[in-house]
Structure 1
Amino acid sequence: MKRFGRILLWLILLVGTFAYGKFQGGFVSWFTFYASVLLAAYELLTARHALRNATSERVLSSLKINAGQTLEVDILVEVEGKWPLPWLVLEDTLPTRLLLQSGSNRELHFPGSNRKLRLSYSLPNMPRGKYVLGDTRLVTGDIFGLTKKVIVHKRQDEVTVYPKIIPIPYWHTINKFNIGHTNAQNRMAEDSSNVIGVRDYAQGDRLSRIHWRASARTGSLKTKEFELHVTNDMMFFLNRSEEAYRSGSNQLFELAVTTCASLLKHAVSKKYSVGLTSYGKDRLTIAQSRSFEQYIRIIEHLAIVQADGGDEYNDAILREVNYLQRGSTIVLVTPVLDQPLVQLIGFLEYRKVKTELFFIVGGRQLTDVEVVHMGKLETLGVHTYVVRDENELEEVVRGPISYASNS
């Protein structure tokens, strides 16, 4: 409709200048008519041939990155037509949440004879989530600004931003209830490839453990000593209650997700069996497993998870703990430490379910009531870690309880 209106205006202009030349006569009137004809022809050809056969390509530095990293975007444009372009605007369509991250996803060019153009911009400090980068728009026009032509190249590139992973070199989380209660590959076992020494033979030692070469050398039976390895079965419970994070900023929930993802990464690197329970608008329970595919499934979920659940964190723990393998360790990641949770943890300890609590507090100070609750957990032998900042997570994991009591 807008295009039809523009054409109608040009027809009225041409008819008007022609009538003016016909009835008025003279050089000026006819010059006005011929100038209008030339201008109309130029505008028509610009609208028809500008950006004809133009192509563009979007190149991303990566489709999968971690939160806090920078995404580099290049838009490569090639104009195959010969029609001159006095100016050209390249614009990339971004999700609303990323517009503030962008330095400039829109750029003005004066191509001249240049047929290949490039728009480069960065999206620093990418927030966690999944984002779809949309269409690329090419806008040009005539030198007078009377005509504008827009070409839209349809495309969708999905970028996944995973939670930030903080390297954790040490986390002492051996479960004393685990030994002897889980299947053979989970419990304390000898690694036959790591012989650390020999000792005198004792009655009951298996023949497979006898070190025959050392026995022959010493004249008495010697038994191999192996390095012991212990693995854990771990189930992580991420608190997604909307009310639990209401008093803090969105960064508090991001800290909880970062903590959960970092601990999961450490557990997977140690060959522990891991799983995740995440109750929000969507309820998800990923059963324990050692496979790397399991970790990918969990981390994909943590990339999009939000604090959108009801007040059902304790209920989720009670419900899911009944399905855990015997000897499992449950890891609670929550910004709430209240009396019901302390009672629940006490009940789990009574049932010989080892619990480790990561208390997400951010920058606020602990209340007197929370300090009392932490003292009760300490008497139960429950490791409590107070997490204030992601950069301190490595040190926090090294010192449960003592770190908390000094906070």
Structure 2
Amino acid sequence: MSVVWLLVAIGVLCLAQAWLFALAGPLKIGYKRTFSTSEAYEGEEIELVEVISNAKLLPLPWLRVESYISQNLQFHGQSDLTVSGGRYHRSLFFLPGYRRITRRHKVKCLKRGYYKLESVNLSVGDLVGIKHASGSRAVQAEVTVYPRLFDIGEMPTESLRWQGDVVVRRYIQSDPYLVNGIRDYAAGDRQKDIHWAATARRGHLQVKTHDFTASPRVMMVVNVQRDAGQWGELGEQEAEVIERGISYAASLAAWAVSLGLEAGMTTNGDIDGLQEPLYIEPAGGNDQLRSILGALAHLRIHRKLTLPTLLEQVEAMLPGGMDFAVVSNYWDETLEMHAGRLRALGNTVTYLPIPQAEGDRAAS
């Protein structure tokens, strides 16, 4: 008989806790999810921060948080975190009453891109599973992952030669608008550089001296085609060479900005939300670098137009005096013809082949 009463008591307790659980409002909990930073580089580790609060006296015996997250954001192993198929993330834990907890998950950014988490599913239940509830919550967690930047030792010879040429031209070209002093006239000086007021004061010819220009302006041209005939999407393995090209272009932009040069970028690839081909006017500064890196993060490896067509548009759009670096997996006579037209306008055009991967270099 005592066993029967014990079972009855247990049943009453189970029903009572289920009733209290339902009365308290199981999904009246606070939830917030953010990344520790809005910007990161490919290969870097960041944190996904969750803040969960229970404003009620009654604890939540179990709380399950589920969400879909790109497989390009790799979570470190945790005892209360399960990852299924590289995309489905589930964590289960106990939440006491009147408690707010902060959970930090280590996340490695495996690939450039823009990642936005918009919703999570929360499930809660009582101790024995009589009552449970679930619902979706909107969240705002986003991070832009920039392409990986090459170390100087990874830069190919063609790039180092081009970079050296750009630096040399910077310091041998004077800017007619940047006057930094006067000096005596010498044979070969231009008449328009004569400073007539100083000449009158000193009684002999004086000419203006000029500071070095921050030009040439560097324009990266990123080709997302593996070869001239390729049109649609590439397979994952085929796209690796273009991914290296994107990192290559990002590295050149970072190098140019670090020297105080003006850098810009254009590409024949597709970027979500843009109807026309991307064109970033050359400018200097860290904000400009972020604009270029952000565009490369959003770039899809899908051809919007051919590279010759892009160069033709650039020719009609831009003035002379630029240093074009064409980052491409191939070069042919048609591209050389368009490069010649740009050179005729006073630009320099250099073809920079995409560097080979480590395995490819070893095989060759």
- TM-score normalized with structure 1 length: 0.64
For residues 171-207 of structure 1, the C-alpha deviation after alignment (integer angstroms, 9 at most, x for no partner) is 432697xx9xxxxxx97347445x6xx8654476425
**CA deviation after TM superposition for structure 1 residue 166, in Å:** 4.6
State the number of aligned residues.
326
Q: Which has the higher contact order (CA 8 A, sep 6+)?
A: 2
Counterpart in the other structure of 1:54: 29
Counterpart in the other structure of 1:173: 166
Counterpart in the other structure of 1:235: 219
Q: Per the alignment, in what secondary structure is the counterpart of residue 127 of structure 2?
A: coil
2:255 is the alignment partner of 1:266? yes
For residues 257-308 of structure 1, the C-alpha deviation after alignment (integer angstroms, 9 at most, x for no partner) is 1222222233344554444322234542425342656555433321210111
Separation in 2, partners of 1:64, 1:327? 33
Separation in 1, partners of 2:207, 2:352? 43
Counterpart in the other structure of 1:360: 354
**What code does the residue aligned with 1:62 have?**
T
Shift in alpha-carbon separation, 1:228–1:96, aligned structure 2, 3 A: closer
Counterpart in the other structure of 1:96: 70
Separation in 2, partners of 1:155, 1:315? 42
For residues 361-391 of structure 1, the C-alpha deviation after alignment (integer angstroms, 9 at most, x for no partner) is 422899xxxxxxxxxxxxxxxxxxxxx8xxx
**What code does the residue aligned with 2:128 have?**
F
Match of 2:321 among 327, 330, 335: 327
Q: Which has the higher strand share?
A: 2
Separation in 1, partners of 2:350, 2:136? 53
Separation in 2, partners of 1:321, 1:290? 19
2:228 is the alignment partner of 1:253? no
- Identity, in percent, stands at 22
Match of 1:129 among 84, 106, 113: 113
Shift in alpha-carbon separation, 1:328–1:86, aligned structure 2, 3 A: closer
Shift in alpha-carbon separation, 1:67–1:365, aligned structure 2, 3 A: closer
The answer to whether the Cα contact below 8 Å between 1:86 and 1:110 also exists between their aligned partners in 2 is yes
The answer to whether the Cα contact below 8 Å between 2:244 and 2:355 also exists between their aligned partners in 1 is no
The answer to whether the Cα contact below 8 Å between 1:231 and 1:270 also exists between their aligned partners in 2 is no
Counterpart in the other structure of 2:20: 45
The answer to whether the Cα contact below 8 Å between 2:267 and 2:277 also exists between their aligned partners in 1 is yes
The answer to whether the Cα contact below 8 Å between 2:124 and 2:132 also exists between their aligned partners in 1 is yes
Separation in 1, partners of 2:312, 2:195? 43
Alignment root-mean-square deviation, CA:
4.2
For residues 47-88 of structure 1, the C-alpha deviation after alignment (integer angstroms, 9 at most, x for no partner) is 342645321233431112232222212212221111233333
Shift in alpha-carbon separation, 1:34–1:70, aligned structure 2, 3 A: closer
Q: Per the alignment, in what secondary structure is the counterpart of residue 155 of structure 1?
A: strand
Counterpart in the other structure of 1:391: none
**What code does the residue aligned with 2:283 have?**
R
Counterpart in the other structure of 2:50: 75
Counterpart in the other structure of 2:268: 279
Separation in 1, partners of 2:34, 2:345? 55
**CA deviation after TM superposition for structure 1 residue 335, in Å:** 1.1
The answer to whether the Cα contact below 8 Å between 1:92 and 1:134 also exists between their aligned partners in 2 is no
The answer to whether the Cα contact below 8 Å between 1:58 and 1:75 also exists between their aligned partners in 2 is yes
- TM-score normalized with structure 2 length: 0.70
Match of 1:66 among 33, 36, 41: 41
Separation in 2, partners of 1:285, 1:144? 58
Residues 62-211 of structure 1: pairs in structure 2 closer than 5 A: 62-89=37-64, 91=65, 93-98=67-72, 100-101=74-75, 103=77, 104=81, 106-111=90-95, 115-166=99-150, 171-173=164-166, 188-189=175-176, 191-193=178-180, 200-202=184-186, 205-207=194-196
Shift in alpha-carbon separation, 1:351–1:113, aligned structure 2, 3 A: closer
Separation in 2, partners of 1:207, 1:326? 31
Separation in 2, partners of 1:34, 1:155? 42
Separation in 2, partners of 1:226, 1:352? 21
Shift in alpha-carbon separation, 1:297–1:118, aligned structure 2, 3 A: closer
Separation in 1, partners of 2:3, 2:235? 74
Instruction: Give ranges in structure 2 of 5+ residues lacking alignment.
Output: 82-88, 153-159
* Rg larger in structure: 1
**What code does the residue aligned with 2:267 have?**
S
The answer to whether the Cα contact below 8 Å between 1:274 and 1:290 also exists between their aligned partners in 2 is yes
**What code does the residue aligned with 2:67 have?**
T
Counterpart in the other structure of 2:294: 300
**What code does the residue aligned with 2:269 have?**
G
Separation in 2, partners of 1:152, 1:248? 36
Shift in alpha-carbon separation, 1:255–1:142, aligned structure 2, 3 A: same
The answer to whether the Cα contact below 8 Å between 2:51 and 2:103 also exists between their aligned partners in 1 is yes
For residues 103-139 of structure 1, the C-alpha deviation after alignment (integer angstroms, 9 at most, x for no partner) is 4464333345672323210111342111112334443
